């Protein structure tokens, strides 16, 4: 996956969320990152993030990558932009 501006923004956003939860001292920062992304990111963004992870996750922080298995893949019928 190439790092176009949209991908770069997605990586930056995921890393910012991960950096925030890393400072919160909770028991499982990866779970908190995944919960935030599942609750607040639109389906298209989650699909793009998971595609990036599947392609190697270039640019994502270790905590953002650790959250990936708990990020829900949206229903294929959900085409919200």
Q: For each of the chain's 81 residues, which pLDDT tens digit applies?
A: 446 888 999 999 999 999 999 998 767 999 999 999 999 999 999 999 999 999 999 999 999 999 999 999 877 765 555
Tell me if 80 is assigned to some domain: no
Alpha carbon distance 68, 47 (integer Å)? 11
Tell me if 49 is assigned to some domain: yes
pTM of the model: 0.85
DSSP state of 7: H
Tell me if 76 is assigned to some domain: no
Q: Report the domain count for the chain.
A: 1
Structural domain span for residue 37? 5-70
Q: Which positions ≥6 away from 38 have C-beta within 8 Å?
A: 46, 70, 71, 72
Tell me if 78 is assigned to some domain: no
Name the residue with tokens 């969320």: 17
Tell me if 27 is assigned to some domain: yes
């Amino acid at each position: 996956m190439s790092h176009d501006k949209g991908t770069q923004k997605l990586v930056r956003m995921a890393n910012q969320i991960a950096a925030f939860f890393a400072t919160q001292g909770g028991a499982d920062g990866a779970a908190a990152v995944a919960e935030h992304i599942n609750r607040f990111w639109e389906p298209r963004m989650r699909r793009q993030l998971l595609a990036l992870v599947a392609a190697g996750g270039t640019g994502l922080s270790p905590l953002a990558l650790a959250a990936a298995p708990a990020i829900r893949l949206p229903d294929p019928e959900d085409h919200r932009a």
